Amino acid sequence: MYLSEVSIYTDGACSGNPGPGGWACILRYEGHEKELSGGEESTTNNRMELLALINALKALKRKCKLTIYSDSQYVINGITKGWAQSWKENNWIKKDKKKALNPELWDELLTLLSEHEYEFVWVKGHDGHPENERCDKMAVEESKKY
């Protein structure tokens, strides 16, 4: 079965941590592009990073082959190193016996990702990567609404 190849770019922003925050994503497929963004009045940067990817994945209508670009080590390592899956299997308790943060978002992300083939690409934030800079700008604009 042929899978559509989609590039996803994400970023989250927060003014204060916690504080007003925003998330943004760009989905690109065969020359088409879709931008999504949103925010919350009181949140954290990590929640915004997770929501950026969750909302990108929710916009997909079928199984795809994804290349996900993010500057968030929290999100990338949480998935690629198996941390989130391990936390879930241990009732959202980490190896240090502390509660994992954002379990409802991690659970939703794991479910959404399970429907796709994917790879993560880490990009250095605020380093001139065009899509990362665009996502950052959109996320900051969203955070300013609160």
> Catalytic residue positions?
11-12, 49, 71, 126, 136
The half-sphere exposure of 10 on its side-chain side, counting CA atoms within 13 A, is 31
Give the pairing of strands 117-122 and 19-29: unpaired
Distances (CA, A) of 99 to 17, 44, 89, 103, 123: 19, 16, 13, 9, 28
Amino acid letter, residue 26: I
| Bridge partners, residue 120, by sequence | 68
CB distance 120 to 76 below 8 Å: yes
In 3D, which of 114, 125, 119, 48 has the Cα closest to residue 84?
114
